[in-house]
Amino acid sequence: MPLMGLGTHRIEDADEVIYSSIKHGVRLIDTATRYGNEEKVGKGIKKALDEGVCKREELFVVTKIWPNDKVDPEKALRESLERLQLDYIDLYLDHWPSTRDYRENPPDKIEQVSIFDFWPKMEALVEKGLAKSIGVSNYNVQNLLNLLSFCKIKPVANQVEYHLYFIQNNLKEFCDKENIAFISYFPLGHGNNARIYIKEHNGEFDIFEEEEVKKIADKYKKTKGQIILKWHILQGVIPIPATSKKWRMLENLEAFEINLDDEDIKLLNSIYEKKKIRFCGSKKYFGIDIFS
């Protein structure tokens, strides 16, 4: 798996953005059924492959299954593959550790799916060659312990909210010990939910406005985004920032060129001690807070 990728949630002109991203070196593309853009993402990938920009095996494509589709993961994945115009997915993630969307009405019409029934069906996708690997998203330590207690194929990755306002050290340490890759969404703290939160709090929780970030960006003559992305990489975390702008995408890739020292890391980590904020609350999606 590449050390940094492109998130596609709510990006505009996804087909052109994906094509341009691949053309300029991006090899990890992250999407999801819920994003509603798999078809456009697939068009961008196909265009790049048809033009010989890269080979299919050089790309690492991720998509996710929504809770309401868990009764039949194979059907859900085959539909995603059709939209993406791909024969297989590199990583198929369980989007949320929930068995259903609690906003549905009436809820008794939704079939409950146990993790003990669901995960073997995910494992079968690997055995059938539809997915090279499987993983999870938004899982905490307890969710992972439950899964690891019986699974035959371990989740290879856990995609979670992780940024300078929300450093999940215990979860990261557990995933490291279990050899589960740690993928960060909202790495810059500027995802859709984050923007809403920032606006509601009059700009108070904007990571780019933190003095520690500005100081280090000035020190290295780099952008604030590049500093934050390199911080992720040095933590052993794979960031997937989303952008619709080609220049921003190229700028993000230059984060690898920065060499932060121990004092820089310590200073950036101190931001979390002042402000501990989770932007992506599950209540918005399920009507209940599954993190509590």
What would the pLDDT profile of 238-279 be if each residue is shown by its tens digit? 999 998 888 888 899 999 999 999 999 999 999 999 888 888
Residue type, 24: H
Rounded-to-integer distance, Cα 181 and Cα 201, Å: 33
If DSSP codes are grouped into helix, strand and coil, which group holds residue 54? coil
Binning pLDDT at 50, 70 and 90, where does residue 10 land? confident
Determine whether 268 is exposed, middle or buried from the number of CB atoms within 10 Å of its CB (0-12, 13-18, 19+).
buried
If DSSP codes are grouped into helix, strand and coil, which group holds residue 243? coil
Peptide bond preceding 106 in cis form (omega within 30 of 0): yes
Binning pLDDT at 50, 70 and 90, where does residue 190 land? confident
Rounded-to-integer distance, Cα 101 and Cα 119, Å: 18
pTM of the model: 0.93
**Residue 52 clears pLDDT 70, i.e. is over it:** yes
If DSSP codes are grouped into helix, strand and coil, which group holds residue 265? helix
Q: Write down all domains in the chain, each with its CATH number in brackets.
A: 6-285 (3.20.20.100)
Rounded-to-integer distance, Cα 59 and Cα 132, Å: 12
**Residue 45 clears pLDDT 90, i.e. is over it:** yes
Determine whether 276 is exposed, middle or buried from the number of CB atoms within 10 Å of its CB (0-12, 13-18, 19+).
exposed
Rounded-to-integer distance, Cα 185 and Cα 174, Å: 18
| DSSP H or E run through 123 | helix 115-127
Rounded-to-integer distance, Cα 200 and Cα 216, Å: 27
Radius of gyration over alpha carbons of the chain, in Å?
Answer: 19
Average the pLDDT over each of 126-135, 150-159, 171-180, 280-289 and give the range with the smallest value: 280-289
The per-residue pLDDT for range 102-140, each reduced to its tens digit, is: 666 555 566 778 999 999 999 999 999 999 999 999 999
Question: In the annotation, is 102 catalytic?
Answer: no
If DSSP codes are grouped into helix, strand and coil, which group holds residue 184? strand
Q: Please tell me which residue in 35, 92, 185, 197 is annotated as part of the active site.
A: 35
